Every structure is written in structure tokens, then in C-alpha cells.
Amino acid sequence: MAESVFRLPPPLDPLDDNLTDTFKKWRRQVDIYMTASGASSKPKKTKVAIVLHCAGPQMVEIFDQFNFETEEQKDNPDDVIRRLEEYCCPRTSEVLQSFRFWKISYKQPGNSFLIELKVQADKCNFQEKERMIRDKIVFSVTGKLQELLLRERNLNLEKAVEICLAYEATVNCAKEMCEVGSENVNKVNNWRTKATDSSFNKDFSDSKNMDRYAVKCRFCGYKHEFEKSKCPAWGKVCEACKGRNHFKAVCKKTVKIVKEKNEEADEGYDHYMWMAPVAMKNSNRLTALLIVNDTEVRFHLDTGADVNAICQRYVKKDQVRPTSVKLAMWNKSKLSPIGETTLNVKNPKNDEIRSVTFIVVSNDLICLLGSKTCQEMGFVFVNGKAFVSKLTLTMR
């Protein structure tokens, strides 16, 4: 096979800021080219010419300034490469290379991160290279993956890499399955919307049917038929952000605490939702661990609460909408929440996903599930209205 079909290594640049690393890669490419093209069996003088041709015109000029003891050394490819290496790879600081090793940030895929660590570790001359790479991996990752690594009793590099790759694959699979599940939910919702539209005109005159077809609109905040022409906010300008097609009350850019205008008129608690344990963070209560927005959240179970509550840190800003709900605390004080939201909640014990409406409270309070949701999710079973006959939890 002709030599011309093989790609030549790129020429060296003497002004390269990272000439040492570049030369090591270049030399490896030259060795591969020599073997692939069959030039390894050619005379030494020919191989020297190939090496200098690969090095480029700038390196040839530098080569001409080298002093060889004999002409035989000048025509020996091993001596030529050794002199080029002395020029391109002056003595480097192991401390600097170690600094660069510990500065490498974790990235996915994990295999790429591992290769980068091994390449840099070779430059550091570590006496225990595998141990250093293992420690670097443990120090670089965070969260659940770091917990899994620290949990391993006799962790070596091979086991650390195995755990990282398995965790990465599991997370990617779970993410893909979650996206597929969301698509299926959207398809069902679209099907229901179409079914509603097709029969809407038939039952429009019946007020009960009208309520059945109406949904709460996220652009105006009112309930109406699921059609943009029926929305009073369509074509209007928001007073808060100057955006179009929504009202200030539901503007995502100005989510804030909503207070009732006639608050002073309501002295009793008849119109307030009861939140008995919401401020009792240190109380010894039954709890359940659920997944919300891809985060594990521990909820207190309370059959005396009328609503569900979730702390602000677990909710995205664009998921919060205003609410007129007021909360009556365990000590009879009143609380205006930040807003309300409806989120998908996953039970990791049985993988059941349920849509739950929460009242969003500040981060100094606790997350809890009220009476209705506790029963719907199967945590609490009530025998009539007299007493609790059975109590089960997903996780304690």
C-alpha cells in the first residue's frame, strides 16, 4: 500500500505553550505512521528524513543547529528524536503537574473523565497512581454518587470506576423513562382535551356540564373553556413584566406572596386551612420519603391537616402560582403562604406517580401531607370516621 494514503502527523510548533504534551502525542503519531506505512524497515537515513518532514520546517531549522558528535548520530532516527525531545520537553515541575491533576473537574461521560485523569497522572510520577486517581474521583463527584463510593468498605480504583459507570447509566435510564412517562401523560391529556372540544357545543347550555369542561387557566387565573379565544388575558399586556397574553396575577416573573384584601374583616378561622404541625420541625412524627422534581423530600404525615405543604427550595419559580389560601397554625396564628403549585410526586417504594397540589411555604417550615393525600397514596387507611385502623409508610 502506498505511503501517501496514510495521514502524516501535524508539524510541531516551537512556540506552542504546551509543547511538552504536544511532542509526546506527536511522537506517538510518528511511531504509528512508521509502522502503518512500512517505513520502519527502510534505511536509517530515510527514517530521519521522514521524522524531520513530520516535524515541520520550523523544527528542521532548529535541528540544523544541533551539534552531534558524529555523522552517524545525525543519521540515526533514535538520536534525532532524542535531541528533539530534549528541546521540546525540558525538565518540568512535578508539583505543577500534580496541581493540574487535582484541578481537573468531574465531567460526563465518566470514561472521558477517567482517561483525562490517567493521562495527567502519568505526568505526575505518582508512586501510588491508582490510589491517587481513586481519591480524585471520590473528591470530585458529589451527592448520591459520592455517598455510594464512601459506603464501599474496600474501595479500589477498579471498584470506584465500576460504581461511577453503573450510577451514570442508571441515572440516564431513569431520566429517559421519566421523559417517556411524561409524553404518555401529555398524550392522555391531549386526548381528553379533544374529547372535551368535540362534545362542548352539545352541552354548553347546561351549567353543570360547563363546570365540568372548564379548567383553571395559567394565563388569566380563571376557569374557562380550554381555548385561547375564551381567555380574557389573550391579547392583553401584563402590567408587571409588559409581556403579552397573561395577567399580572399569574405572571411567572413576579411570583410573590398573595394576601387577601379584606383580611381584617375575617377575625375567625372558618375560611382558613388548618396546618397544625407545619411549624413543629423537631417533633417526632411519622414521615414518608418521596421524590419531587428529581429530589428526595421527606414529608410529615398528618391526618389533621387540611392541605399539603412543601418548602420553597423544592419548587421551581415558574411552578408557583398565586393563592388566596390562608393557613391557621397550631398556635392559632395566621400565615400567608408564598403560593401554591401542582407537582408530580413519586413513591420510590412502588414507583407510583401521583399529581398533588401543595401550598408553598418558606424554607424554615416543614413539608407535610394532609389527610386526603395520605389516604389517596395509601399511607393511611381510615375505618369509617371513627378511628384509624391501619397505618403504613413507604419509608421511615
pLDDT at 346: 92
- The mean pLDDT values, 10 residues at a time, for the chain of 396 residues are 68 82 86 87 88 89 84 86 81 77 86 86 85 92 90 90 90 80 59 51 47 69 77 83 80 52 40 50 71 91 85 90 80 78 91 91 86 87 62 50
Q: Are 273 and 326 in contact (CB under 8 A)?
A: yes
pLDDT at 256: 45
Q: Computed from CA positions of residues 301, 305, 308, 310, in that sequence, does the dihedral angle turn out positive or negative?
A: negative
pLDDT at 278: 45
Length of the chain: 396
DSSP codes, 255-269: ------TTGGG--SS
Domains of the chain: 3-88 (no CATH), 214-254 (no CATH), 266-391 (2.40.70.10)
> The cell 527514517 sits on which residue?
47
How far is Cα 210 from Cα 201, in angstroms, rounded to an integer? 10
pLDDT at 137: 92
Bridge-based pairing state of the strands 287-292 and 339-347:
antiparallel
- 23, three cell numbers: 511532542
Burial-class residue 303 by CB neighbours within 10 Å (0-12, 13-18, 19+).
middle
pLDDT at 392: 53
